[in-house]
Amino acid sequence: MTDRWRVYANLATLANAVLGVGAILYTLAGNPRWAMLLIAIAIGFDGLDGIFSRRSAKGPSAFGRIADSVADGLTFGLAPAFLIGFHGGVAAWSPWTTVALVLAGVYFAAAIARLTYFTTHAFQHPYFLGVPTPESALALIVALLFHSTPGFESVSPAGVLVGVVVLSVMMVVPVPYPKVRRGSVLRLPMALTAAFATVALVPLQFFPAPGSPLYLLSEVGAYAFLVGVASYYLAGPFTVPRSPSASGPARP
């Protein structure tokens, strides 16, 4: 008999991957705003994948773990790398083209290294080692919202690229980060962060004029989004359960 929860988990993984492909295509088409929105939506499907697989009578499978890591590598590794490296001829980024492409490769390599280690070893830990790729992608979106085109603070390619270096390192350093599941003190803050990500990104799809109500709504959402992402990076390691029995295997 087919395990419906495992089927649902596989469909969520597939949706994650499809959204990642869409994000890459939107970036190449010169619409990074849509790309960022698709990556943020994909994080929801990545979470559903984990929920469904844990409800399966057989539990998470090796195939599901590998498929999930492949989808994450596409959506939270390759798609963000395209956002870093391709800017559709935006003048402010022209002097930084080569550096951006190199750092896009570094970011992608760090994401793949983290996911490979997770798939082969770290899935046995009750926490993440290094910042998970979805949270790294969220932090990159925050950096682009504030310092890319249009930037709520300024258009600063150098600031974004410094952030890319930091994010790449944070994915591979062996610092424990928590799973955001039921009972986690970060569950509510991260749920609010997802909501504010939507508030920040959806109005931008209508290309609002600076100072307009939609633009101001997006800007307010972006600041709340920034606070939520920062809370995971800064407070996350202090909320990791120290007992291996506190929770099950982590997901990337």
Give residue 51's pLDDT: 82
Q: Does residue 197 have a pLDDT over 90? A: yes
Alpha-carbon separation of residue 180 from 105, 149, 183, 203, 218 (angstroms): 28, 31, 8, 27, 25
How far is 100 from 79, CA to CA, in rounded Å?
A: 14
Average pLDDT value for residue range 85-101: 90
pLDDT > 60? residue 88:
yes
Please calculate the CA angle 215-220-222 and round it to the nearest 5 degrees: 90
Spatial contact of 93 and 100, defined as CB atoms under 8 Å apart = yes
The string over 32-41, giving b where at least 16 C-beta atoms fall within 10 Å of a residue's C-beta and e elsewhere, is: bbbbbbbbbb
Q: Which of 3-17, 68-82, 99-113, 119-133 has the lowest mean pLDDT?
A: 119-133
Q: State the average pLDDT over residues 101-117.
A: 95
- Write down the mean pLDDT value for the chain: 88
Q: What is the Cα–Cα distance from 27 to 15, expressed in whole angstroms?
A: 18
HSE-up of 110 (CA within 13 Å, CB side)? 27
Q: How confident is the model at residue 163 (pLDDT cuts 50, 70, 90)?
A: very high
Tokens 């870093």 belong to residue? 84
Cβ atoms 182, 246 nearer than 8 A? no
Tell me the Cα Rg of the chain: 18
Block residue for tokens 């600076």: 210
Q: Of 14, 40, 13, 12, which Cα lies nearest the Cα of 26?
A: 40
Q: Is the pLDDT of residue 246 over 50?
A: no
Which of the residue ranges 105-109, 167-171, 244-248 would you say has the lowest mean pLDDT? 244-248
Query: What separation, in Å, do the N-terminal and C-terminal C-alpha atoms of the chain show?
Result: 29
The stretch 123-137 carries a mean pLDDT of: 86
User: Is it the case that residue 251 has pLDDT exceeding 50?
Assistant: no
- Which stretch, 53-67, 119-133, 166-180, has highest mean pLDDT? 166-180
pLDDT score recorded for residue 245: 44
DSSP character at residue 246? G
Q: Where are the domains of the chain?
A: 72-246
Q: Of the candidates 15, 17, 7, 19, which has an alpha carbon nearest to the alpha carbon of residue 52? A: 7
pLDDT value for 59: 62
State whether residue 176 is helix, strand or coil: strand
Phi-psi region of 16 (alpha: psi -120 to 50; beta: other; left: phi over 0): alpha
